[in-house]
Structure 1
Amino acid sequence: MVKAAVLGASGGIGQPLSLLLKTSPLVDELALYDVVNTPGVAADLSHISSVAKISGYLPGDDGLEKALTGTDIVVIPAGIPRKPGMSRDDLFKINAGIVRDLVKGIAKYSPKAFVLIISNPVNSTVPIAAEVLKGAGVFDPQRLFGVTTLDVVRAETFTQEFSGQKDPSAVTIPVVGGHSGETIVPLFSKATPAFQVPEDKYAALVNRVQFGGDEVVKAKDGAGSATLSMAFAGFRFAEKVIRAAKGQAGLIEPTYVYLPGVPGGDDIAKATGVDFFSTPVELGPNGVQKAINILDGVSDKEKQFLEVAVTGLKGNIEKGVEFVKNPEAK
């Protein structure tokens, strides 16, 4: 029996993500939680003829406790997108507070669950979650993930003309670093099967993977961001975590993790100088079975991108940790 919970289930990512989880034969029970509209979303999805039994909760009547109790995997897309006139700092404070409070609930009601964080900025919200779980004495680094799969999906999609694959996902392209802008580093030199990106297309391709979200915001004319593709990516990663928990071996996907707490992470932490980093991990019954260091042998250009990424990550991580340790300073 697998119980999954989506926190932020009524939003632009939450609804399609909940739909995908409802249709998965791997999910037996699906609990939805949000501050508005959740009973309606749950009622709508309950008409779908699939395995999962579904329930929807609001904050009243101990909704968060009910959603989380007995949960094996929690996916958190909760938060708000940046609105006109809102600074990134304003956005950070709102989403950081949302993630902090939800993770407090996880620490209390489902401390052994796999926790998959989608809420932006992931580079900071995952350190926030780690600090909250540490404070509650229930932090298991192998079970905390920042979902960076959308960067991988974009890299697969945007390189299809060079890889020549009918199915873009047939190519494995590691994307490392973080999950925003210049902290995202696609390692095309490590793609399998290998392919070549023309020299005159390389810089633009990296930029498109790094800033693909801007493309969607522009196309939606400021009325939204990448919600459907993010829901797909979140589901793809969640399904791999569930499959690994059920005993399927050989499942590898990049994800943003706390390096010192996972097998194989120390080498990557030493190489990068940061404690949180997105790297391919082998998934197992307990979450991260092994972090895989693929930084050796990257191209000179990729090394330059990595240097920029690490500089950005250090500030992002510090900001998240400080938010929890010194809330009064915010």
Structure 2
Amino acid sequence: MASEPGLVAARSFSTAIPLRSKVAVLGAAGGIGQPLSLLLKTNPRVTELGLYDIVNTPGVAADIGHINTLSNVAGYTAKDKDGLKKALQGAELVVIPAGVPRKPGMTRDDLFNTNAGIVRDLAQACAEVCPKAKLLIISNPVNSTVPIATEGLQEGRIFGVTSLDLVRASRFIGAKLDKVVDVPVVGGHAGITIIPLFSQVEGLKLTEEERAALTHRVQFGGDEVVKAKDGLGSATLSMAFAGARFADSLLRADAGEEVLEWAFVKNDLFKKEGIEYFSTYVKLDKNGVKEVLPLPENISEYEKELVKAAIPELLKTQTKGEQFVNGKQ
């Protein structure tokens, strides 16, 4: 009897590991952290996983450690002596989904007071233990937490993960076209700062009403999930998928591939407006950001207006993060 295609693929890819790559997941026992760690365990480019959380991480490590891919997994908690340091030691990539999730009625900004301190402390630990690692920030509000995670770390190696916005836009348009398409999404990772560039999708025709509705759905897709889960969680599984996808892009770049991605990074695209961080198209290499690419020249007037509307909000959330770092928050 023939094996199922998925099983054949899993067995074959697990034997080919191009480079040693340790990935640390901080917040690995949480709603995003567990499925994210699972997906990273199945990635053939990952040869070691260091998992860290306040509690339960050894159990997560033991569970996914039984998956038959050629990577080792270790879990550490805050109670372990040097647990965080051990999880980070030798990491080339650090993913931070740690923090509290959104609940009904909460905005990403409502999470700031709790998650800002968590990201600051974890980023400081990365700066001490693995300062050359690439740091992926998932903890919301990303527009504010990324500016917090800059001290002691190399600028081109810090990424706000906005991949979920691209995944959502791709899915929503893909459902309309009945095929998977890439939809660029720029700006930030909250509400009106999320700007899907539907004009860049070849062959896509939308009425003004369809465009407005789809734009709003991408911008507030997280609310849709929070409401559907009825107070029991937020977008954890789709975020884990998006985070694992972005991590894989960085691992591929580290292995020598030329990779293009969209991410919330420090750049000068809107320097005149005082904006230091903006999600845009970036070229990745083994050192992180190789080049920041400008926005497409042929975006629509509608999208230009969305960018203008996002600038004040991006500036406000950036300032909030910077004030927190400087002790003014």
Q: Within the alignment, does 1:122 sit opposite 2:142 as a pair?
A: yes
Aligned residues of 1:8 and 1:34 also touching (Cα < 8 A): yes
SS of the aligned residue for 2:102 comes to coil
Q: What amino acid is the match of 1:148?
A: T
SS of the aligned residue for 1:159 comes to helix
Residue among 71, 78, 81 paired with 2:91 = 71
Aligned residues of 1:162 and 1:196 also touching (Cα < 8 A): no
Give the C-alpha shift of residue 51 in structure 1: 1.2
Give the C-alpha shift of residue 142 in structure 1: 1.2
Residue among 160, 163, 174 paired with 1:149 = 163
1:240-319 alignment, distance < 5 Å = 240-249=249-258, 251-259=259-267, 266=268, 268-270=269-271, 273-319=274-320
Instruction: Mark the CA change 1:271 to 1:174 in structure 2 (over 3 Å): closer, same or farther.
Output: farther
Aligned to 2:233: 224
Q: What amino acid is the match of 2:232?
A: A
SS of the aligned residue for 2:223 comes to helix
Instruction: Mark the CA change 1:273 to 1:173 in structure 2 (over 3 Å): closer, same or farther.
Output: farther
Q: Within the alignment, does 1:51 sit opposite 2:51 as a pair?
A: no
Measured in 2, the distance between the counterparts of 1:272 and 1:295 equals 19
Aligned to 1:175: 185
Gaps of 5+ in 1: 134-138, 260-265
Give the C-alpha shift of residue 90 in structure 1: 5.4
Aligned to 2:115: 95
Aligned residues of 1:127 and 1:321 also touching (Cα < 8 A): yes
The TM-score normalised by the length of structure 2 is 0.90
Residue among 158, 174, 189 paired with 2:172 = 158
SS of the aligned residue for 2:149 comes to helix
**CA displacement 1:201-242 (0-9 Å, x = unmatched):** 110100000000011111111111000000000000000000
Q: What amino acid is the match of 1:17?
A: L
Measured in 1, the distance between the counterparts of 2:72 and 2:90 equals 14
Q: Within the alignment, does 1:107 sit opposite 2:127 as a pair?
A: yes
Number of residues paired by the alignment?
Answer: 309
Q: Within the alignment, does 1:204 sit opposite 2:218 as a pair?
A: no
**Aligned alpha-carbon RMSD (Å):** 1.6
The TM-score normalised by the length of structure 1 is 0.90
Q: What amino acid is the match of 2:200?
A: K
Measured in 1, the distance between the counterparts of 2:45 and 2:287 equals 17
Give the C-alpha shift of residue 273 in structure 1: 4.1
Gaps of 5+ in 2: 1-19
Instruction: Mark the CA change 1:312 to 1:89 in structure 2 (over 3 Å): closer, same or farther.
Output: closer
**CA displacement 1:250-292 (0-9 Å, x = unmatched):** x211100011xxxxxx3x1347641100001111111111111
Give the C-alpha shift of residue 77 in structure 1: 0.2
Aligned residues of 2:109 and 2:141 also touching (Cα < 8 A): no
Aligned residues of 2:108 and 2:140 also touching (Cα < 8 A): no
Aligned residues of 1:145 and 1:255 also touching (Cα < 8 A): yes
Measured in 2, the distance between the counterparts of 1:219 and 1:31 equals 32
Aligned residues of 1:162 and 1:195 also touching (Cα < 8 A): no
Q: What amino acid is the match of 2:145?
A: T
Q: Within the alignment, does 1:6 sit opposite 2:25 as a pair?
A: yes
Instruction: Mark the CA change 1:37 to 1:94 in structure 2 (over 3 Å): closer, same or farther.
Output: same
Percent identity between the two aligned chains = 56
Q: Structure 1 segments of 4 or more deviating over 3 A?
A: 82-90, 161-164, 270-273
